[in-house]
Structure 1
Amino acid sequence: MEKMRKNRALLTLVGIIIIVAGIITLTVRNNNSAKNSDTITIGSIGSDVQIWKHIANLPEVKKEHLNIKVKSFTDGVSLNTATAENKIDVNAFQSYAYYVAFNKNNKNEKLAALGTTYLEPMGIYSSKYKRVKDIPNGSTIALADNPANTARGLKLLEKAGLIKLKSDFGSLSGTSAIADNPHNFKFKEIDDTTGPRIMKDNSIAAVLIGNTIALEGKLNVLKDSIYHEEVNQSTKENINILATSERNKDNKKYKKLLKVYHSAKVQKYIKDKFDGTKIQVQKPLSYFAD
């Protein structure tokens, strides 16, 4: 009889342990599920990685019940592809023109813009000449080898008075759309991430470099370029955006990122950290259609 009572007590104890363990496991799963549901993986490149890592740790982000994870990439195509395929939730690195070019070349998996962040001026850089008018006739100028940035660079060269473009020049046009090249410049298309290094090449007179890459090369577009873009209607396609996969375009959680990004605290950090080279632009997406 005593032995039976002990066995019953032992079985009861084991049962209680199993029930408690089950409750703990379920609670942990629920907590993890809630946490994962609020986790946003942001893919970025270069200096933008620093910005989003800073944002991820802000109290404002916690108040919005967001958990931001930042993943660094080295090239835009692979980052956009990962985003379009829903392997990355949101990306922060590209201009509106770059985004349009990606969607044009990818019929199946497309991206959607969430909102604007800033304009990083593209600059003309040279280790040999202090002014654009000093670049000799027949010199070679290096441009990015992706359509959006090739077109952007050519428009900047026209703005600087070095070339003339055809009237139907578009956001993805290339050097074949140059109408007049009075200085007989030659153009070399390069991987734009190599821009700062190409500046040291004696065969290159000038290089067009986007600000993200320039910052990685310790260059300040406002101080070190011999000519750079200004913020105006003509450069609106160069404004950077947050992008996600087309299927997530209405995700309210992702749109909260814009609110945090444009907060005064974040903007002060960006201005101080990058010497004013990332110029805040807070516009509706309809701005690009105007």
Structure 2
Amino acid sequence: MRKSKKRRRIWWWVLGIIIVIAAGLGLSSAANGGPLGKKTITLGTIGPDVQIWQHIAKSDQAKKAGLKIRVKSFTDPVALNKATANGEIDVNAFQSWSYLQTYNKENRKAQLAALGTTYLEPMVIYSDRYHRLSQVPDGATVAIANNPANTARGLLLLQSAGLITLKKNFGPTTGTEGIASNPKNLKFKEIDDTTGPRVLKSTDLVLIGNTIALTGHLNVLKDSIYHEKVNQSTKNNINVIATARKNRHNKNYQKLVTLYHNQQIQQWIKKKYQGTKVNVDKPLSYLAN
């Protein structure tokens, strides 16, 4: 009798272990989009892109792709990247390629990887006083962002417009000391990015990114006298969808890139933002080369 009871206890223990393992496998399958359910992808973003991804999350295209998306709004880009690196956020969509590279250099133990490209949000030269670059006079004052990344980007824009020439060693955070030639003797006035639309009437030229321009009811394509275009000189400014480096091969996360570029989704974005978020559907090799 004692041996029989002992055997029964052993079998009950074995059965219990099997049930626990099976339950674990079932939960794992559900968490990864298996037969018991599909994982919700938590996507973090900032500013106007919150509305874009909320629209995408509710779209028929997302349902057809088998994706369930929860959108979380952030105001601090560094906090969003760190939340993505530690797994609090699965994927983020807010930053340019150059911003991502800078973040990775400064955070060696919390690396991110790009999944794919989204758009170029052009930086623009606006003026209330002039309608063409040829009208810009000698000694004109240019309002430029006071943070290194956007200062450099603004100077590159002025060079592209033919107003200045930059030194050969000009880098992604170089300031006005990187100007090699300034034939129109342009004067530079540093401003906070967000105040760009408000200084238009008091400054000859103002360099403004599209996100801020939209808040000031300015249209990149209609109101500017010059703006960035999609080419090799602006590839570092193309926005990307990013995730923790260890998750870069996750197939569901990669589906978000295809979903973003869906024709119906792009038609909605174009109408909502008057074409100012320029769609860029390029392979990652385009950015890396």
Amino acid at match of 2:170: F
Matched, 1:213 2:212: yes
Alignment of 1:77-92 (within 5 A): 77-92=78-93
Q: Is the Cα–Cα contact under 8 Å of residues 115 and 242 in structure 1 kept in the other structure?
A: yes
**Structure 1, unaligned stretches of length 5 or more?**
1-25
Match of 1:226 in 2: 225
User: Within 1, Cα distance between the matches of 2:216 and 2:260?
Assistant: 25
What are the within-5 Å matches in structure 2 for residues 47-126 of structure 1?
A: 47-126=48-127
Query: What is the distance in 1 between the residues matched to 2:216 and 2:86?
Result: 31
| Pair 251,269 (structure 1): closer, same or farther in 2 beyond 3 Å | same
**Per-residue CA distance 1:251-287 (angstroms, 9 max, x = gap):** 2221110111111111111122222212221111111
How many angstroms does 1:75 deviate by? 4.2
Specify whether residues 268 and 63 from structure 1 end up closer, same or farther in structure 2 by C-alpha distance, changes over 3 A only. Answer: same
Same amino acid, percent of matched pairs: 61
Residue in 2 that maps onto 1:23: none
Question: TM-score scaled to structure 2, two decimals?
Answer: 0.80
Aligned to 1:7: none
Q: Aligned Cα RMSD in Å?
A: 2.5
For the structure 1 residues 268 and 139, does the alpha-carbon distance in structure 2 shift closer, same or farther, using more than 3 Å as the test? same
Task: Render the CA deviation track for 1:163-204: whole Å, top value 9, x for unaligned.
Answer: 11001222332222111122332333333233223334x2x3
Asked if the contact 1:38/1:65 (under 8 Å) is kept, the reply is no
Residue 255 (structure 1) aligns with: 254
1:173 and 1:37 mapped to 2: Cα distance?
46
Q: Secondary structure at the match of 1:179?
A: strand
| Equivalent position of 2:6 in the other structure | none
Counterpart-to-counterpart distance in 2, 1:47 and 1:275: 13
Q: Tell me the TM-score normalized by structure 1.
A: 0.80
Equivalent position amino acid for 2:62 in 1: V
Matches within 5 A, 1:230-241: 230-241=229-240
Query: How far apart are residue 247 of structure 1 and its match?
Result: 2.8
Give the aligned partner of residue 274 of structure 1.
273
1:138 Cα deviation (Å)?
3.3
CA distance in 1, matches of 2:260, 2:114: 15
How far has the Cα of 1:237 moved from its partner? 1.6
- Match of 1:88, SS? coil
Measured after TM superposition, the shift of residue 234 of structure 1 is 1.9
How far apart are the structure 1 equivalents of 2:241 and 2:191?
26
Deviates more, 1:270-279 or 1:133-142: 133-142
Segments of structure 2 that go 5 or more residues without pairing to the other structure are: 1-22
Give the match's secondary structure for 2:69: strand
Distance 1:67 1:92 in 2: 16
TM superposition shift of 1:99? 1.7
- Per-residue CA distance 1:215-269 (angstroms, 9 max, x = gap): 2221110011111112222222221111122232222221110111111111111
Q: Secondary structure at the match of 1:199?
A: helix
SS of the residue corresponding to residue 172 of structure 1 reads coil
Give SS of 1:80's match: helix
2:245 is aligned with 1:246: yes
Q: What letter matches 1:44 in structure 2? A: T
Q: Which moved more, 1:39-48 or 1:71-80?
A: 71-80
The 4+ residue runs of structure 1 with deviation greater than 6 A are: none
Deviation of the 1:154 alpha carbon:
0.8
